[in-house]
């Protein structure tokens, strides 16, 4: 039996959705899989797991600080297990900005965390204006405008390429 823990930092739900998708994909009778928010991770003993996957969303160019804190605290433990990291952001909707060597958030994360995950993936997230407050909506609209993305108020687009998520799952299986 392989015990897999998927930890996510998600605000609007897309990183959580991807985490749950990975969990479903990796579910086999001999696997035990748990998905948990970074907010609740203190409540479990992570050492009980053989594999740890961490997913984090980007907001205003940044990762949730709790992700860095978690990694700082558990770096050695993480290195002793099969581990992987995935980043969810809107920039990755663009071809050529959707892999760890071209999406700047991967380099930023590795530099700051000083943790080199065994596997790292970049997934495009979702833009859903109806979920954002006034300030965020205005900011995202502006960013979308300058990066030639959708600016319609009614936009609710999932940019996630699920085939890429499947490929990530396959890599983790091997
Ligand atoms: C307030 C806000 C700020 C964002 N900032 C960025 C950003 O700086 N760079 C980027 O590529 N995507 C950015 N995004 C897009 C998010 O990364 C994307 O919507 C992702 O799906 C969010 O994940 P979550 O639903 O798990 O929170 C931003 C989205 C919001 C709502």
Phi/psi zone of residue 131: left (φ > 0), alpha (ψ -120 to 50 degrees), beta? alpha
User: What is the reported pLDDT for 78?
Assistant: 97
Closest CA to ligand 1's atom 22: 57
Mutation choice for ligand 1 from 102, 106, 125, 142, CB with most ligand atoms inside 8 A: 125
**Residue-wise pLDDT tens digits, 41-92:** 999 999 999 999 999 999 999 999 999 999 999 999 999 999 999 999 999 9
Q: What is the pLDDT of residue 147?
A: 95
Q: State if residue 117 touches ligand 1 by the CB under 6 angstroms criterion.
A: no
Q: Taking the domains of the chain in order of start, what are their residue ranges? A: 2-128+157-173
Q: What's the angle, vertex CA 20, arms to CA 16 and CA 25, rounded to 5?
A: 145
* 149 ligand 1 Cβ < 6 A: no
Ligand 1 pocket residue status of 160, Cβ below 6 Å: no
The predicted structure's pLDDT at residue 89: 98
Residue 174: predicted pLDDT: 84
Identify the band that residue 30 occupies on the pLDDT scale cut at 50, 70 and 90.
Answer: confident
Report the chain's C-alpha Rg in angstroms: 16
pLDDT of residue 29: 80
What is the rounded average pLDDT of the residues 19-39?
94
What CATH superfamily is the domain 2-128+157-173? Answer: Flavodoxin domain (3.40.50.360)
Nearest to 75 by CA among 120, 36, 116: 116
At residue 139, the pLDDT reads 97
pLDDT score of 150? 97
pLDDT digit string, tens, across residues 104-133: 999 999 999 999 999 999 999 999 999 999
- Gap between the Cα atoms of 174 and 164, Å rounded: 16
120: helix, coil or strand?
strand
| The pLDDT value given to residue 6 | 98
pTM: 0.97
Q: Which of 154, 148, 151 is nearest to 139 (CA)?
A: 151
Share of the chain above pLDDT 70, in %: 100
């Amino acid at each position: 039996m392989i015990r897999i823990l998927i930890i996510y930092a998600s605000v609007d739900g897309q990183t959580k959705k991807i985490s749950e998708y990975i969990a479903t994909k990796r579910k086999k009778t001999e696997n035990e899989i748990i998905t948990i928010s970074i907010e609740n991770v203190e409540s479990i003993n992570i050492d009980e797991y053989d594999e740890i996957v961490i997913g984090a969303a980007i907001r205003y160019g940044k990762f949730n600080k709790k992700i860095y804190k978690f990694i700082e605290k558990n770096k050695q433990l993480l290195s002793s297990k099969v581990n992987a990291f995935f980043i969810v952001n809107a920039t990755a909707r663009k071809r050529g900005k959707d892999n760890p060597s071209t999406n700047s958030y991967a380099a930023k994360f590795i530099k700051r965390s000083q943790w080199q995950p065994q596997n790292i993936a970049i997934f495009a997230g979702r833009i859903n204006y109806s979920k954002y407050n006034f300030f965020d909506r205005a900011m995202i609209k502006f960013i979308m405008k300058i990066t030639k993305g959708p600016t319609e108020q009614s936009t609710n687009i999932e940019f996630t390429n699920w085939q890429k998520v499947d490929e990530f799952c396959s890599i983790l299986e091997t």
